[in-house]
Structure 1
C-alpha cells in the first residue's frame, strides 16, 4: 500500500474483508453491517472508529515518493529516477510515455493531489505552508482527506480509560444502530415491540436507556457515589448531560464515564439475554453488582483509578 496506487477494486476488496472481520461476518456471509464503512473510517473525534480510509491512506503513502523526488532525498531509487526519468527537467511537467512503468505512471498521477499542497524546491519544500522536516504520512493524510464536523461525545467513549468492547457497543447506541425492537418492527421482522426489562414500555433506543425503570435503577445504583442520576425524557438529553459532566480529564470524570459506558453495555446484554431466552439477571441490583465487579477488576490494574475506585466501591 505504501509503494504504488492500488486499483479501486483491490481497495474495495480490502474494505469488504475488514468490514466483515469487524462485524464478525464470515467470508461468504451476508450479514449486513450496522454502520457504513465510510462512517467507520472517520476519526474518532468525528464520530468514527479511527480506522484509516484505505483509498486516502494509500494516496498519502504514495505521495512520499513525490516528496522524496522533490526534496532530492538521498536514496538509490531517487538518484536513479533523477538520472533516467527526470533528467534535470521539472517534475511537474514530465509526461509518462509508452515505456514508463505502471508504478511510475501511478507516482506521476499523484501530482494532481500534491500540486495543491506542495510549495518550494529542495530543502525549502513546504506542505500547506509548513516545512516538514520529515515526511509524515499521517500529516499528509489528514490534509488530503475530506474532514467531517467533530462530535462532542467522542471523549466520553474513547477518552482514557475505556474498555474497547463496551465503548464499541455504546458507539452503536449513540448512532442508534443497535437492533432494538422498533427497528426490527420497521423491517417487518417482528410484530412484538414491548420492552423485556420493564412492564408497559415499547422498546426503542430512547426508551431502553432513558425511560426504562430497570435501566434507571441500574444507573442510580452504580453511580450513586458520583452523582444524583436525573430523569431523562429522551436519549439526546441523556447523552448531552453525560457529555457535559464527564468529558473532562479529572479522575471523577474518568470514573463516571467508564461506569456509564459499562452500565449501558450491561443493560443491553441483559436485554439480549431476555429476548433470546438465555438465563437472565432479574434484579437491577444484581446487574449493578456485576457492573461493579468488572469495574473493580479493571480499576485494580490502573494505578490512576485505584484511589477513586476505592471511594466508589465503599
Structure 2
C-alpha cells in the first residue's frame, strides 16, 4: 500500500461524509490470532469475522479514495483476492455505488447483517427484526410446555433460563415496548397456563420479601442493563464507541446534562430517559454519581442494583419470610404463596364459571380460601390433628394466626421450628390437592389418609435434613 496515503485517523473534510461497512470471511479461521485490530487502535476485530467500518470521502464529486488498514499476523493485507467479501453501504451514495463496487470488486450486501445472533443495521432496528428474540423465547417455552411442570418449576425456568437468554438482547438494544409486552405475555401464559392470571404480573415481578416471585420486569430490566452503557459514557471507558459518543454527541460536554435532538439515535434517547429516571431518585447529579459508584463491582456497574433502584416498591409482608425456606419444597411454598394472597382458584375467585359455590369437604358453606384454611370443620379437624402431633395446644384457625404464632414461638433454625413450618406448608398443600381430587376426580374424603400423608412428608423432609437423628 502507498505509504504516502493519508491515514484515516487524520483530519478530513466534513463535506459529503458517508459510511461504508465491509464484511470479510477469514482466509483460515483455524490459524487466526485471537484478536486482530484496525491500525491506530480504532476498532477490535473478532477472530472469525472481520467487520471494518471506514469512511468514504468524496473530493469534488470526482475521486473516491478508500484506504483500508488491517493487521493480521502482523502483516498488512489488502482486502481482496480470493476472499469472499461483501460491501454494506449506508447513506445517500446510490449514484456512486457502481463505481465503488467496481473499485473494490466486492458484492453488495444487505442490512441487517447478523453477528452473534444480533441484527446490525445503520438505521433503527424495526420491530420485525426482533423476531429472532421472540422465536428463541417461544421455542424454549414450547419445549417446556410438553413437560409436567409445577408452578414453582415454571418460575425457576423463567428466572434462570429465559431471562438469561433475553438479557443478551436487552443489554444491547433499547427494545421496543411492543416486543417487551409480547415477551411478558409469553411468560404470563407459560406460568398460568391460560389467559386468566391468578396474580397480576406487576405483583409477580416484586421481590419475594415484598410478596412477589422475584421475576424481573422486562421493561425495567432493559433499562437497568442499558444503564451500564450510560455509566461507561460517564466514566469515559477506554473504547472506540465511547470516544465516538463524546466526540459526536457530547462535544466535550457531560452526559448528565446532554439534551438529545430529534435526529439523534434511539439508543441515545433511551439513555437520556434512563439517566433522568435515575437522577429523579436523588437530589442532585453529584449525589447520583456518588451512589452509582457504590454499585461498581469488578469495574462494572451492577445492573441488578440499578434494577432494584428503578423498580416499583411494595410493603414487605411478614408471611413471606415464613413461606420461602430452602428446606420447604418449592411447590409447597408456591401454593402457600397463592393461599396467603387469597388467589387460589377457589370458586369465589372464579365467579365467571357460573357454578355452584360449595365447599367440597363439608358440603355446606361456600368455598373460600379462609374457609378452606381452617374454618371448614373437616380441614379444621385435620389441622388440629397435625398440631397435636407437633405438641401445639394453641388454637390457630387462620393462616395469619399460624404465621404470627410461629414467628413468635418457633424462631430460629432448630429442628422443632423446621418441623412446624414443614408440617404447616404440607398441610396447606395437601388440603388443596385433595380438594382438586374431590372436585375434579370424584375422590372420597379420607381425613385419616390425609393425616398419614402429611406425617410421612414431614418425616421424609426432616430425615433429609437430619439423617443421623
Mapped partners of 1:131, 1:174: distance in 2: 34
8 A contact 1:125–1:131 mirrored in 2: no
> Which position in structure 2 is the counterpart of 1:191?
356
Counterpart selection for 2:448 from 275, 285, 288 = 285
Whichever structure has more helix as a proportion of its residues is 1
Aligned pairs for 1:135-174 (under 5 A) are: 135-174=301-340
Counterpart selection for 2:370 from 206, 212, 216 = 206
Whichever structure has more strand as a proportion of its residues is 2
Greater CA radius of gyration, 1 or 2? 2
Q: Aligned residue pairs: how many?
A: 296
> Which position in structure 1 is the counterpart of 2:182?
13
8 A contact 1:15–1:54 mirrored in 2: yes
Higher relative contact order (CA 8 A, sep 6+): 1
Q: Does 1:175 align with 2:318?
A: no
8 A contact 1:170–1:264 mirrored in 2: yes
Mapped partners of 1:189, 1:76: distance in 2: 64
Mapped partners of 2:241, 2:387: distance in 1: 61
> Which position in structure 2 is the counterpart of 1:28?
none
Normalised by the length of structure 2, the TM-score is 0.57
Unaligned runs of 5+ in 1: 26-30
Mapped partners of 1:155, 1:107: distance in 2: 36
Unaligned runs of 5+ in 2: 1-169
Distance 1:183 1:230, change over 3 A: farther
Matched residue of 2:436: which SS?
A: helix
Normalised by the length of structure 1, the TM-score is 0.82
1:197-252 per-residue CA deviation (whole Å, 9 max, x = no partner) reads 23544422122111223323333344444331543454443443344445644432
What displacement does 1:151 show?
Answer: 0.4
4+ residue runs of structure 1 moved beyond 6 angstroms? none
Distance 1:278 1:79, change over 3 A: farther
Q: Does 1:215 align with 2:379?
A: yes
8 A contact 1:69–1:78 mirrored in 2: yes
Matched residue of 2:342: which SS?
A: coil
Mapped partners of 2:368, 2:441: distance in 1: 19
Matched residue of 1:127: which SS?
A: helix
Which shifted more, 31-40 or 223-232?
Answer: 223-232
Counterpart selection for 2:264 from 100, 111, 130 = 100
8 A contact 1:4–1:107 mirrored in 2: no
Distance 1:153 1:142, change over 3 A: same
1:80-116 per-residue CA deviation (whole Å, 9 max, x = no partner) reads 3234433322223333346533223322332212333
Distance 1:135 1:274, change over 3 A: same
Aligned pairs for 1:46-125 (under 5 A) are: 46-97=210-261, 100-116=264-280, 117=282, 119-120=285-286, 125=289
